[in-house]
């Protein structure tokens, strides 16, 4: 009975694969563990969230957009931290932008600016690639379609096709394959912890590599929710004007991200036929973003997870 009770545990601890490392975030702190040439490099720091300073940002739906941006910023910082431990001959030459920032800003200010530029670039690329580009492409079929429902269907298919194509393209990149293997190590380690098993390489190795609360699943659900919201909104708004559609997609994006966050929370906290069915598409797409890790990767994931498990039992329960 004890094992059955522990196996139903769902943790709020989550992670992110880095360059030869893993970021884990718990309720109180986050830990970065990187397998550098000289050995494991570990960085722990307390978890400070902007929503903790402003209670209104903890409201359902609103907290989703805030958490997404906060996770993106912390993820970029962690990624840059892990990249610093690569041998110099494997690093790319500094770009003109990097050189300009280093020239005009010093130390921590330069680092913050680079992080925010990377976050802005990531957001812009995501919005353009998965939201604006499908709207632009679907605009070419307007003369042949009289139904807004059919237009939304075509635009939705284009969105999902671009997203799937992007994941497949990334999964075939040599360097990205190792990052995706660390992604698999992160999932396996969290599953092991949720099962109430000792955090050992042997126990983690046998766990699934696809997790229902994965970021890949989150992004897929964002697209699905955006398709559903568009179907409602453009039933009442002039849907043939491409620029109107693009503008409304941008305005609705925070709401879409917030709703998706609440959906993922619900699916992550429940295990029944309905939630399992809803999670299947995102789980299937993880075939392209999670690879089987080796034992050294599992060791990194275990070390990162151990460092963020709260002292108070149950504090990280989802």
What digits encode the pLDDT tens for the residues 128-141? 888 889 888 888 88
The first and second tokens of residue 192, run together, are: 């092991």
How far apart are alpha carbons 33 and 147 in whole angstroms? 52
Mean pLDDT lowest for which of 18-32, 80-94, 160-174, 189-203? 80-94
How confident is the model at residue 312, as a pLDDT? 86
The first and second tokens of residue 143, run together, are: 């003369």
Contact 46, 28 (CB under 8 A): yes
Percentage above 70 pLDDT, the chain: 88
Element housing 94 (H / E): none
* Measured CA distances, 55 to 51, 258, 263 (Å): 6, 16, 21
This prediction has a pTM of 0.82
Judge whether residue 150 has pLDDT over 70: yes
- The predicted model gives 161-186 an average pLDDT of 90
* Measured CA distances, 32 to 244, 293, 300 (Å): 43, 18, 9
Confidence of residue 313 (pLDDT cuts 50, 70, 90): confident
Top pLDDT among 222 and 114 is at: 222
Confidence of residue 180 (pLDDT cuts 50, 70, 90): very high
Judge whether residue 52 has pLDDT over 50: yes
**DSSP state letter for 46:** E
pLDDT digits (tens, 9 = 90+) for 93-110: 666 666 666 666 666 676
Percent helix, strand, coil in the chain, to 5, is: 65, 10, 25
How confident is the model at residue 92, as a pLDDT? 54
pLDDT digits (tens, 9 = 90+) for 234-272: 777 766 777 888 888 888 888 888 888 888 877 767 777
How many helices (DSSP H) and strands (DSSP E) are in the chain?
13, 4
The first and second tokens of residue 183, run together, are: 């992604």
């Amino acid at each position: 009975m004890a094992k059955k009770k522990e196996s139903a545990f769902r943790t709020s601890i989550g992670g992110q694969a880095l360059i030869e490392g893993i970021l884990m975030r718990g309720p109180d702190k986050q830990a970065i563990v990187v397998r550098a040439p000289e050995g494991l490099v570990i960085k722990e720091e307390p978890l400070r969230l902007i929503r903790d300073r402003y209670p209104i940002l903890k409201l359902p739906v609103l907290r989703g957009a805030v958490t997404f941006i906060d996770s993106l910023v912390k993820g970029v910082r962690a990624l840059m931290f892990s990249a610093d431990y690569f041998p110099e001959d494997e690093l790319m030459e500094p770009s003109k932008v990097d050189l300009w920032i280093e020239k005009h800003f010093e130390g921590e200010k330069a680092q913050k600016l680079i992080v925010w530029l990377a976050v802005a670039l990531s957001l812009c690329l995501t919005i353009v690639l998965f939201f604006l580009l499908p709207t632009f492409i679907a605009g070419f079929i307007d003369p042949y379609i009289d139904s807004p429902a059919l237009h939304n269907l075509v635009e939705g298919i284009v969105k999902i096709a671009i997203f799937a194509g992007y994941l497949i393209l990334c999964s075939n990149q040599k360097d990205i394959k190792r990052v995706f293997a660390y992604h698999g190590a992160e999932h396996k380690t969290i599953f092991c912890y949720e099962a109430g098993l000792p955090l050992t390489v042997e126990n983690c190795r046998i766990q699934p590599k696809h997790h229902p609360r994965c970021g890949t699943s989150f992004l897929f659900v964002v697209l699905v929710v955006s398709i559903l919201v568009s179907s409602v909104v453009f039933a009442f708004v002039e849907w043939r004007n491409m620029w109107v559609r693009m503008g409304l997609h941008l305005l609705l994006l925070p709401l879409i991200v917030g709703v998706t966050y609440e959906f993922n929370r619900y699916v992550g906290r429940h295990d029944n036929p309905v939630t399992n069915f809803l999670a299947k598409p995102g789980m299937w797409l993880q075939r392209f973003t999670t690879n089987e890790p080796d034992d050294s990767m599992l060791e990194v994931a275990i070390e990162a997870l151990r460092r963020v498990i709260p002292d108070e039992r149950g504090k990280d329960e989802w």
